[in-house]
Structure 1
Amino acid sequence: MTMVPSDLVVELSRWQFAATALYHFLFVPLTLGLSFILVTMETVYVVTGRQIYKDMVMFWGKLFAINFALGVATGLTMEFEFGTNWSTYSYYMGDIFGAPLAIEGLMAFFMESTFVGMMLLGWHRLTKVQHLTVTWLVALGSNLSALWILVANGFMQDPRGGTFNPFTQRMEMTNFMQLIMNPDAQAKFVHTSLAGYVTAAMFVIGISAWYLARKRHVELARRSLRMASLFGVISVIGVITLGDALGFIDGGHQPTKLAAMEGLWHTEKGPASFNLIAFPNQEAQKNDFAIKIPVLLSILVKHDLTSGVTGINQLEQEAVARIKNGIPALTALESIQNQLSKNPALANPAKRANDPALQQALTQFDAHKKDLGYAFLLKYYAPNVSKATPAQIELAAKKSIPEVWIIFWAFRIMVALGFLMLFFLIWATLLSLRGKEMTSPIFLKLAPWMIPAGFLACEMGWVTAEMGRQPWTVYEQLPTWISASTHSVGYMVFSLIGFVTLYSIFIAVEMYLMFKFARKGPDEHGSTGGGGSLAGVPAFARPIQNLNHD
């Protein structure tokens, strides 16, 4: 950790990873959700034997395949970026971060990729039950991929199951089950998966409504809309519920993220008010404007009416104390490394017990190691932390707070879109169950425009989670300013432009293919009726009860 990148290289590295992650995360939610919608449709096909459900699986399967292929292309790059652009992080975290990534690749990604081909091309080579099994495996593989990625991310948010080795200067895994069962990882996995289900439901409803408005493929569109509406309304309730649980967890383990999400500068005693709308001013440490809802913040964050919520000012003062406590840990770590460089034999644990100076440094390190990360923050301002001034410590404490206005508004956009989709999906479900979806032109016109809502909500959720963790790559352990590789500015600018250009092309290809195949519609097998008819009777004129008895 002796060589550190320049500030500009760190910022360019962050922008590049953010760009690739945001692009990639446009594909992930649809893959997660559409795979289980396909499972639902094909299960009904196998049980009923009706051709229409097979047509539905084959049509939506085409759109799934387009999205899956481009999702893989954008996702592979991100894993390489850890090694190329974040080498210190990779060295520091490799023992822990590498395990779930390896499992994701071997157990989930390869399973998913292998069976996608069988799902798309195996209709005439597999029995109904065999093909349904393959579709289930694709869906499980997709969601298991998300699980292992979020297990790795969970350690970055709330480090559990690992400890820092002062001799290797790396995190080492101590408890694999703690890594897997990390509350942040588990809550975030369910929340992220359900968000993907909602995104896919909005996607299917939007395209189905587009067909219904034009009286094309009516039977397929009505059945797809009904399934997606029911699937989506259940999922969006889960998203909101798990989002509340995740906020409760973050409130306990990442108070700086919570304070930024709520634009809370000063500690409020219970019951605390919720800032519905605010204009955070980080320099002045206040909100220039705010509309508050009394009592609500305590209910949302603490689930009671009496608890207060810690504000940013108090968190900064706590950071000052932790920085001061971390200074002896860092000086001890530097002493250990100096002694190792002079006597490499001390790398052998049996040799360490006979070195009093090393034992003294280890004792000092163990007594203060929980705040070592805060001393790393200070090192940005004071290369020799033992001689840091109070002003430098104060600057480091301020650096421990993330960019408030970004997190504040990203969180509110996510929540607002979540409730908007809840009301829309309830509306869609009621219309579909009553057979009134084609009698509401407002719904049919609005539904296609609602498709981006799920994607945008997912993006804002990612921004809230990852920006809220700053200034850390591993929360309270490893600051971002240390984590990046020591590339040149020219290299970073070139690679950033290259990735943004390439991924923009991927997005353009995705949209072109999606529009092309969505406009074309499903292949005709008699049951779908190119003009929306079935056995001579227009499907849009048939009462919904007829569909119930199929």
Structure 2
Amino acid sequence: MISTELVDLSRWQFALTSMYHFIFVPLTLGLSFMLVVMEACYVVTGKEVYKDMTKFWGKLFGVNFALGVATGITMEFQFGTNWAYYSHYVGDIFGAPLAIEGLMAFFLESTFIGLFFFGWKRLKKSTHLIVTIFMALGSNLSALWILIANAWMQYPIGSEFNFETMRMEMTNFFDVILSPWAQAKFGHTISAGYMTGALFVLAISAWYMLKGRDLEFAKRSFRVAAAFGLVVSVFTIHLGDESGYLVAKDQPAKMAAMEAAWETAPAPAPMTVFGFPDEENQITRANVEIPWLFGIIATRSLDTPIPGIKDLIEQNTKRIENGIVAMQTLSSLRKDPTNTELRNRFEQVKDDLGYGMLLRKYTDDPSRATPEMISQAAQDTIPGVNIMFWSFRAMVGCGIALLLIFAFSLYYSAKDLIVSRRWLLKASFFALPLPWIACELGWMVAEYGRQPWSIYEILPVHLSTSTLSVASVTGSLIGFVLLYSALLVVEMWLMVKLVKTGPSFLGTGRYFFEQNRMSDKE
């Protein structure tokens, strides 16, 4: 039997490192293209304030990028240390985009970051702008290849199981990289990162205006962030809608959990705006619904039903039973690989092989699984409803709040009234955590919603771990918590120090602390 404690600890460790890493990723993505916009304004207008903006926000970008790299490297090592069977089973497919990311995107990004910081006095204005563009492209290409790998975990296309090697093997590389899941996940993730970068600049600029500091610098930064943020907010919502459509089509259990849809409602299904899911009794209490909306958004039609949790459990029970047959047939085929009849029989049931593997959580021999074990494994195919239900709604709520903040900010900034709208400046500043909360909740919905699979319908999580001791994983988990906590303190200290100093650290003589020092001398 597989140690449930070991699996849970390994999951906690990877969840901790990945969610900590994603504190830095969206800000890196967002600031990278905002720097392009700011420097383009400098090249076109020749105004020094835009150059100062690029240098100042670029400094914050650099600190954030360094921590993102440090935390991202440990994640990839965990596939070999904590998830060795996962790496063995799907490494031929999953490893390819990660290798390309390291060889192409990361080196591109790192090279041009160096040129960005040290090339101001050595490169022409237009040449330095090209450097900044390539730096931003490198950041986004890194995200692209990582998200392609993650999208394959959600929708394992372009591969098939080889019974001779007992591994998943790639059949079409272009199917993997051009997967609709990869496109939707990349678009939605980077646009959410752009929102994060925009809100970061907006909030800090608002703080400067509230303090009456560096007003010209802050007003221009605020205006760029508001315009950029409003545009990408619209794209984020649209691409989130596209992701939801794919979930409804390819991962019905995740969608049912997000909506706490216990029963299969007549098409088009209503959307539950608010309610209190009761998982024990499989009912949502005090629910507020909008008729038809769920069906229209999730299926793009008026007549396509969306299966509820109870029907999905029943369907998955049958797939688990077929999976038992698939495992028995596979065992026989391994002993007699030239038997054509066994091959044909396995081809008929191999799509349910992963469902049979779910029983390995409860018994070493799935062929002897009891009805109770099969029933429990079928229940496992539905992720936790309360976590999914509330995570999704909190994420959407944060997104709507950010959209409104960007819209009001752009309007009053364009009217040159923003300094007098202190309520909006305060709202912008206190909204600073919202994009990070939305991003982390988005990953919660995506990854927790894939449970109990590490590769959707292919490989269960409880079969993916390494053969480590509970003590070793516990020790490394504690080590990561202590190390990452220390790194976070250092990063926050550096960022706060730079923000408090503001553009005065550029040494141009045009900003708050420099002017105060000059006044004191006079």
Q: Where on the TM-score scale, by shorter chain, does this alignment land: which range?
A: over 0.9
Partner of 2:512: helix, strand, or coil? coil
Asked whether the 8 Å contact 1:32–1:196 carries over to 2, the reply is yes
Asked whether the 8 Å contact 1:266–1:311 carries over to 2, the reply is yes
Equivalent position of 1:363 in the other structure: 344
Equivalent position of 2:460 in the other structure: 479
Structure 1, unpaired ranges of 5+: 340-351, 534-550
* Separation of aligned partners in 2, 1:68 and 1:386: 51
Equivalent position of 1:280 in the other structure: 277
Equivalent position of 2:96 in the other structure: 99
1:114-263 mapped onto 2 (5 Å cutoff): 114-263=111-260
Q: Is 2:499 the partner of 1:518?
A: yes
Asked whether the 8 Å contact 2:507–2:514 carries over to 1, the reply is no
- CA deviation map 1:438-483 (0-9, x unaligned): 0111112222111111111000000000001000000000000101
How far did 1:337 drift? 3.9
How far did 1:525 drift? 6.1
Asked whether the 8 Å contact 2:395–2:438 carries over to 1, the reply is yes
Asked whether the 8 Å contact 1:251–1:258 carries over to 2, the reply is yes
Partner of 1:451: helix, strand, or coil? coil
Asked whether the 8 Å contact 2:501–2:513 carries over to 1, the reply is no
Given the alignment, which residue of 64, 68, 77 partners 2:61?
Answer: 64
How far did 1:122 drift? 1.2
Partner of 2:276: helix, strand, or coil? strand
Highest relative contact order (Cα 8 Å, sep 6+), 1 or 2?
Answer: 1
User: Quick one: percent identity of the two aligned structures?
Assistant: 50
Partner of 1:31: helix, strand, or coil? helix
Given the alignment, which residue of 324, 344, 356 partners 1:375?
Answer: 356
State the AA in 1 paired with 2:70. Answer: A
* Separation of aligned partners in 2, 1:105 and 1:267: 45
* Separation of aligned partners in 1, 2:246 and 2:509: 49
Q: Is 2:27 the partner of 1:27?
A: no
Given the alignment, which residue of 462, 467, 479 partners 2:448?
Answer: 467
Asked whether the 8 Å contact 2:101–2:141 carries over to 1, the reply is yes
Q: Is 2:406 the partner of 1:409?
A: no
* Separation of aligned partners in 1, 2:273 and 2:253: 18
Asked whether the 8 Å contact 2:267–2:303 carries over to 1, the reply is yes
1:488-503 mapped onto 2 (5 Å cutoff): 488-503=469-484
Mean CA deviation greater in 387-396 or 235-244: 387-396
- CA deviation map 1:214-266 (0-9, x unaligned): 12111111111101100000000110011001100110000000001111111
Asked whether the 8 Å contact 1:31–1:142 carries over to 2, the reply is yes
Equivalent position of 1:302 in the other structure: 299
Partner of 1:80: helix, strand, or coil? helix
Q: Is 2:369 the partner of 1:388?
A: yes
* Separation of aligned partners in 1, 2:174 and 2:79: 24
Equivalent position of 2:433 in the other structure: 452
* Separation of aligned partners in 2, 1:462 and 1:532: 43
* Separation of aligned partners in 1, 2:326 and 2:301: 38
Asked whether the 8 Å contact 1:184–1:250 carries over to 2, the reply is no
Mean CA deviation greater in 218-227 or 391-400: 391-400
State the AA in 1 paired with 2:169. Answer: E
Mean CA deviation greater in 68-77 or 396-405: 396-405
How far did 1:5 drift? 4.0
Equivalent position of 1:530 in the other structure: 512
How far did 1:531 drift? 7.3
* Separation of aligned partners in 2, 1:20 and 1:385: 33
* Separation of aligned partners in 2, 1:144 and 1:362: 41
**For this pair of structures, how many residues does the alignment match?**
514
How far did 1:333 drift? 2.0
Equivalent position of 2:313 in the other structure: 316
State the AA in 1 paired with 2:386. Answer: W
Asked whether the 8 Å contact 2:503–2:511 carries over to 1, the reply is no
Asked whether the 8 Å contact 2:206–2:429 carries over to 1, the reply is yes
* Separation of aligned partners in 2, 1:27 and 1:388: 45
RMSD: 1.6
Asked whether the 8 Å contact 1:96–1:162 carries over to 2, the reply is yes
* Separation of aligned partners in 1, 2:300 and 2:514: 51
Given the alignment, which residue of 266, 269, 275 partners 1:269?
Answer: 266
* Separation of aligned partners in 1, 2:274 and 2:448: 19
Asked whether the 8 Å contact 2:309–2:382 carries over to 1, the reply is yes
How far did 1:110 drift? 1.1
* Separation of aligned partners in 1, 2:455 and 2:320: 16
* Separation of aligned partners in 1, 2:115 and 2:213: 29
Asked whether the 8 Å contact 1:5–1:487 carries over to 2, the reply is no
Partner of 1:291: helix, strand, or coil? strand
State the AA in 1 paired with 2:171. Answer: T
Equivalent position of 1:16 in the other structure: 13
* Separation of aligned partners in 1, 2:245 and 2:165: 35
Given the alignment, which residue of 397, 400, 404 partners 1:419?
Answer: 400
* Separation of aligned partners in 2, 1:283 and 1:382: 25
* Separation of aligned partners in 1, 2:481 and 2:134: 33
- CA deviation map 1:325-344 (0-9, x unaligned): 122211122234456xxxxx
* Separation of aligned partners in 2, 1:242 and 1:172: 30
How far did 1:516 drift? 0.3
Equivalent position of 1:347 in the other structure: none
* Separation of aligned partners in 2, 1:293 and 1:501: 46
* Separation of aligned partners in 2, 1:266 and 1:480: 27
* Separation of aligned partners in 1, 2:510 and 2:353: 64
How far did 1:363 drift? 2.7
- CA deviation map 1:64-123 (0-9, x unaligned): 001000000110000000110011111011000110000000110111112111101111
Structure 2, unpaired ranges of 5+: 516-522
* Separation of aligned partners in 1, 2:481 and 2:330: 40
* Separation of aligned partners in 2, 1:148 and 1:324: 36
Partner of 1:521: helix, strand, or coil? helix
Equivalent position of 2:520 in the other structure: none
* Separation of aligned partners in 2, 1:528 and 1:296: 54
Asked whether the 8 Å contact 2:223–2:413 carries over to 1, the reply is yes
* Separation of aligned partners in 2, 1:531 and 1:305: 62
- CA deviation map 1:410-442 (0-9, x unaligned): 111100000000111101000110001101111
Asked whether the 8 Å contact 1:328–1:364 carries over to 2, the reply is no
How far did 1:297 drift? 1.2
Equivalent position of 1:331 in the other structure: 328
* Separation of aligned partners in 2, 1:93 and 1:527: 57
Asked whether the 8 Å contact 1:93–1:171 carries over to 2, the reply is yes
- CA deviation map 1:19-68 (0-9, x unaligned): 00110000000000100000011111112222111100000000000100
